[in-house]
Amino acid sequence: MFVLVGIGVLLVYALLVFYIGWSGWSWMKPVISNRFKAAYIVLLIFLATSFISGRLLGNFSALNIIGNYWLAIFSLLLIMLPIVHVCLWLSRLTRLPRHHTQKWAGWITLTALIALIGYGSFNAYSPVVREYNLEIKKPVEGMDELKIIMAADMHFGLLSGAAHARRMVEGINALEPDIVLYPGDIIDDDLDAYMNQGIPDIIADVEATYGVYASLGNHDKTEPIEKLIAALELSNMQVLYDDVLVIEDTFTLIGRKDRTETDRAEVSTLVSTVEMDKPVIMLDHQPYELDVAQENGIDLMVSGHTHRGQIAPAHLITRALYENDWGHLQKGEFHSVVTSGFGFWGPPIRIGSRSEIVQINVRFTG
């Protein structure tokens, strides 16, 4: 069954690639030579397979980069080309010359594609600070407020590399956090790429009064898992892997295993030994089951994973999938904060979303 589904997905992908290739062929056909046509077909096949082969052959960094950018081009053209073709069809109802209309439609599409990639790259590599103010109705002796700085989905590795890590460190430290939380997807599947970029030494410079804590996400994978945790903890952070930790005898942190881990503990199990009269903050990479967190007395749950779709209109899909796919949601006394992420998955492109660091100003009342 799994093989049949895989074959079906590849066939659909091949048809979509053919559609894109045919569109480009139709535009260039009147002005290119037969030799160039053959090169065009070879190039299209190379691009179409680059993302898959780049992931399979992880040591070929150039192929990975090409494949990631192809994914952006593929996604954008699937949105743009149907609109272009409808406009071309409507133009036949006018007296506009068909050849000139098709030529200019091609140039406009190419210009718009380049502009969108440039705009998306700016959004990906120019993070902003999102600020949320919320109240937890529990008294904390000697502490009225807590400034939490959160970053998730950094996907550190090949394209989200050393320079982007420095941006994160500078951005976080400038906010003078009380505590820093990383709820998952710190690396991009490849621990070697993370280590070779020197990122552990870079992000070790993040400073916070009560420390830096992380949970793992679905891309934080390597075997054995202890190797990954040890590598991450070189970066001046403590990884909470279905762990409960009391900070300065004032509030409790819970870090869950990712939802993809079949042996992760239930929330009810994790809170069974927690003093619920103190604030309880939980890191859970994927923002599912907010009602379960609320029912078990969690005051604040911080998450990532959604990327807010990363490339519009995918934000419509994440909005449909998650009760809270981005931002702050309050349900009774429970708060959920979901970040669109500091990094990106695949292409370093964000359209309709932007890389961000999140500042959560918590006020404790009793």
Q: How confident is the model at residue 4 (pLDDT cuts 50, 70, 90)?
A: confident
- HSE, side-chain direction, 13 A CA sphere, residue 259: 10
Q: What is the pLDDT of residues 296-347, one digit of tens each?
A: 999 999 999 999 999 989 999 999 999 999 999 999 999 999 999 999 998 9
Q: Which amino acid is residue 236, in one-letter code?
A: N
Q: How far apart are CA 230 and CA 63, in angstroms?
A: 29
The residues facing 335 across adjacent strands are: 300, 330
- Predicted confidence at residue 225, as pLDDT, reads 92
Q: To which residue do tokens 């998730």 refer?
A: 152
Confidence of residue 33 (pLDDT cuts 50, 70, 90): low
Mean pLDDT of 272-294: 96
Superfamily of domain 129-364: Metallo-dependent phosphatases (3.60.21.10)
Specify which residues 359 forms β-bridges with.
131, 149
CA-wise closest residue to 55 among 47, 44, 63, 43: 63
Q: What is the pLDDT of residues 174-213, one digit of tens each?
A: 999 999 999 999 999 889 889 999 999 999 999 999 999 9
Q: How far apart are CA 82 and CA 76, in angstroms?
A: 11
Residue 324 is which amino acid? N
CA distance 212 to 306: 22
Average pLDDT score, the chain = 91
What is the distance between the alpha carbons of residues 149 and 178, in angstroms, rounded to a whole number? 8
What pTM does this model have? 0.89
Residue ranges, comma separated, of all CATH 3.60.21.10 domains in the chain are 129-364
Q: Could you tell me which of 223, 240, 219 has the C-alpha nearest to residue 157?
A: 219
Nearest one of 332, 326, 346 to 157, comparing CA atoms: 346
DSSP state of 223: S
pLDDT confidence of residue 96: 73
Which of the four pLDDT bands, split at 50, 70 and 90, describes residue 30?
low
Cα(354)–Cα(357) distance, integer angstroms: 10
Residue 31: its pLDDT value, please? 61
Point out which residues pair with 310 in neighbouring strands.
none
Residue 98 has pLDDT above 80, yes or no: no
Question: What confidence score (pLDDT) does residue 334 get?
Answer: 97
Which pairing describes strands 238-239 and 243-247: parallel, antiparallel, or unpaired? unpaired
β-pairing verdict for 327-331 and 300-303: unpaired
Helix (H) or strand (E) holding 357: strand 356-364
Residue ranges of alpha helices (H) inside the chain are: 2-28, 34-56, 61-91, 98-125, 162-174, 191-196, 199-203, 225-232, 267-270, 290-295, 314-321
Phi/psi of residue 311, nearest 5 degrees = -120, 115
Q: What is the pLDDT of residues 128-139, one digit of tens each?
A: 999 999 999 998
For the stretch 21-58, what's the b/e string if a residue is b when 16 or more beta carbons lie within 10 angstroms of its beta carbon?
Answer: bebbeebeeeeeeeeeeeebeeebeebbebbeebeeee
Contact call for residues 248 and 255 (beta carbons, < 8 A): no
Query: 253 forms bridges with which residues in the sheet?
Result: 245, 281
Does the pLDDT value for residue 249 go beyond 80?
Answer: yes
